[in-house]
């Protein structure tokens, strides 16, 4: 089975939007902590958690305990996406008579634990995990605790108990976002090392400061440390935890409070504060504007693709683009599924296999088995029947479904029926099979046409720009609607891949800020523009965004 990467990301986005809707309607709530654990819950609900929303008390279900109960909007939104209740019910958050209260409550079917007082969830989890072992039950207990609640002594008493009784059916996630209530954890009661300033990048950049894992190891736990916003790392960590016998596991997940909404990120003010109604449309636009950068490794050293994959890993690419060329559909030939299978053990980063081959329906199974997480085939070599077969096979194996069109190809009408379930649309901006080409400028107009069609047919996937994308044009390509960007020579062709990817992200971020300011101006003129700018108080964001607003004549 594949990672189910795109489906997880789509549902994470839905859940985040529901958190914004719920807390805004309620006028209160905790979006910051809901967003820091969004990917963790997305992976659990959409990949690993064994549950039945129609039978919430199913005896053999896995148990999910949200110990950091103030982040209830994050739990409720995922439950709604999973089908426990209608998504519209999130609008009743914190209202009298609602089953969706400010903290998880057992009156809501599917909730396992009343997460009010912090620090008690792990003790509860140890109890139900131990009960499962005593009763020879096959369920697993997943628990999410906060770093702020780790100030509580009961957390460490429970940690000792879990190790003593060897509850290996318990996996704990520590949502390590460095913020509790009104300040930073390392200024209140450090889990790692004392923070002297308000610059959290100190903690992110210097791994020698990370002491939390050592604490848990000393209590007899299996410790896995990950980036808590990387779906593939979460998935891999859960698999490792489930395979570990004799000891409980804690997955220390380094996260960002308020992740995906720039003014909420790393800002203690958004621990427990609801967004105002006038900025909600801008926030939703920002959530829809999350993006990914993927190096195309064939632009590197083709004689040592293993090293190119390692460079992508050290460069922190979002996924890795693999151009498969057969020498027939395109003039050149690269590699096939055999090489992909050889590369797969090198990293858990998703593999995006772009099949530029004839008759892909005959070969797609090989690329599934090789470990591809996303597979894209071309319109030029498929029809409704063959693509339907490919589509269904990929969905059955939890592999992302991609569809590609060449520069001189328009989206065929037969493909419209697949758009609602399509995960990725590659819009080629160079002629495939030739290297070193410039971005075809007519692609901008083509994207405008495509956006209308995609909106009409409820496309919810990612548009991927592939070919000639560089620092000079990536901002305009983002403005066109692309949200995934393949970089060949502009990334993998550079000596410092990490710096190249960082520069790409900086350019896209600037373009996104422009679009959000445009939206603020459209909705509320100078007053709303000023309000939007004023929300960005962490670091140098406010001055940077203010400068863009001045350049666009909004101030």
For residue 89, the SS3 value is helix
String of DSSP letters for 111-158: ------STT-HHHHHHHHHHHHHHTT----EEEEEESSGGGSHHHHHH
Give the CATH superfamily of 5-275.
Thiamin diphosphate (ThDP)-binding fold, Pyr/PP domains (3.40.50.970)
pLDDT digits (tens, 9 = 90+) for 490-545: 999 999 999 999 999 999 999 999 999 999 999 999 999 999 999 999 989 999 99
| Contact predicate 67/146, CB 8 Å | yes
Q: What is the rounded distance in angstroms from the CA atom of residue 529 to the CA atom of residue 282?
A: 11
Percentage of the residues of the chain whose pLDDT score is greater than 90? 93
What are the extents of the domains in the chain? 5-275, 292-493
pLDDT digits (tens, 9 = 90+) for 325-374: 999 999 999 999 999 999 999 999 999 999 999 999 999 999 999 999 99
pLDDT score for 439: 95
pLDDT digits (tens, 9 = 90+) for 279-326: 999 999 999 999 999 999 999 999 999 999 999 999 999 999 999 999
The architecture of the domain spanning 292-493 is Alpha-Beta Barrel (3.20)
CA angle 222, 223, 227 (to 5 degrees): 150
In the predicted model, is pLDDT for residue 204 greater than 80? no
Q: How far is the CA of 526 from the CAs of 280, 477, 517, 520, 530, in angstroms?
A: 17, 27, 10, 8, 6
Calculate the CA 30 to chain-centre distance: 19
Which pTM value belongs to this model?
0.97
The residue count of the chain comes to 555
**Local structure of residue 323 (DSSP, 8 states):** E
In the predicted model, is pLDDT for residue 200 greater than 90? no
In the predicted model, is pLDDT for residue 435 greater than 70? no
State both tokens at 192.
């790692």
Averaged pLDDT, 239-259: 97
State both tokens at 480.
């066109």
| Contact predicate 418/440, CB 8 Å | no
pLDDT band with cut points at 50, 70 and 90 for residue 181 = confident
Within 8 A by CB and 6+ apart from 224, the residues are 237, 240, 241, 249, 250, 251, 252
For residue 250, what is the enclosing H or E element?
strand 249-254
pLDDT digits (tens, 9 = 90+) for 460-475: 999 999 999 999 999 9
């Amino acid at each position: 089975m594949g990672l189910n990467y795109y489906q997880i990301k789509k549902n994470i986005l839905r859940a985040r939007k529901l958190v914004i809707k719920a807390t805004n309607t309620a006028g209160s709530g905790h979006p910051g902590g809901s967003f820091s654990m969004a990917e963790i819950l997305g992976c659990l609900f959409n990949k690993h958690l064994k549950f039945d929303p129609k039978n919430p008390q199913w005896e053999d279900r896995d148990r999910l305990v949200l110990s950091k109960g103030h982040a209830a909007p994050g739990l409720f939104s995922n439950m709604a996406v999973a089908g426990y209740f209608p998504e519209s019910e999130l609008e009743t958050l914190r209202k009298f008579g609602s089953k969706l209260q400010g903290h998880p409550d057992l009156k809501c079917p599917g909730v396992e634990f009343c997460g009010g007082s912090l620090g008690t969830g792990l003790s509860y989890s140890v109890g139900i995990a131990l009960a499962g072992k005593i009763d020879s039950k096959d369920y697993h207990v997943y628990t999410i605790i906060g770093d702020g609640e780790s100030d509580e002594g009961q957390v460490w008493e429970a940690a000792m108990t879990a190790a003593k009784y060897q509850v290996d059916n318990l996996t704990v996630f520590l949502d390590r976002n460095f913020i509790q209530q009104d300040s930073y954890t390392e200024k209140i009661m450090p889990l790692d090392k004392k923070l002297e300033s308000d610059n959290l990048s100190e903690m992110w950049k210097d791994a020698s400061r990370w002491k939390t894992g050592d604490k848990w190891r000393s209590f007899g736990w299996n410790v896995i440390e990950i980036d808590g916003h990387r779906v593939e790392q979460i998935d891999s960590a859960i698999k490792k935890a489930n395979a570990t016998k004799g000891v409980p596991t804690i997955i220390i997940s380094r996260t960002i409070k308020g992740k995906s909404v720039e003014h909420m990120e790393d800002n203690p003010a958004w621990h427990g504060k609801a967004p105002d109604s006038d900025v909600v449309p801008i926030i939703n636009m920002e959530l829809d504007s999350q993006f990914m950068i993927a190096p195309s490794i064939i632009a590197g050293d083709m004689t040592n693709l293993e090293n190119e994959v390692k460079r992508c890993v050290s460069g922190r690419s979002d996924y890795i683009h693999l151009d498969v060329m057969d020498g027939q559909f395109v003039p050149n030939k690269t590699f096939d599924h055999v090489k992909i299978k050889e590369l797969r053990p090198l990293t858990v980063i998703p593999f995006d296999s772009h099949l530029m081959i004839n008759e892909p329906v005959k070969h797609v199974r090989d690329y599934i088995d090789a470990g591809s997480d996303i597979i894209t085939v071309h319109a030029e070599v498929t029809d409704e029947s063959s693509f339907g077969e490919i589509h269904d096979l990929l969905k059955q194996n939890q592999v992302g479904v991609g569809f590609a069109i060449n520069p001189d190809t328009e989206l065929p009408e037969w493909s419209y029926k697949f758009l609602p379930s399509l995960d990725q649309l590659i819009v080629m901006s160079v002629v495939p099979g030739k290297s070193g080409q410039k971005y075809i400028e007519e692609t901008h107009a083509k994207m405008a046409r495509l956006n209308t069609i995609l909106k009409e047919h409820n496309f919810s996937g990612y548009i991927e720009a592939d070919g000639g994308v560089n620092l000079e044009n990536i901002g305009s390509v983002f403005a066109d609607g692309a949200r995934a960007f393949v970089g060949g020579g502009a990334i993998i062709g550079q000596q410092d891949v990490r710096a190249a990817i960082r520069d790409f992200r900086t350019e896209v971020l600037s373009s996104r800020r422009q679009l959000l300011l445009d939206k603020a101006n459209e909705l509320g003129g100078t007053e709303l523009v000023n309000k939007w700018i004023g929300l960005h108080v962490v670091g140098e964001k406010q001055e940077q965004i203010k400068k863009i607003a001045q350049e666009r004549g909004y101030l």
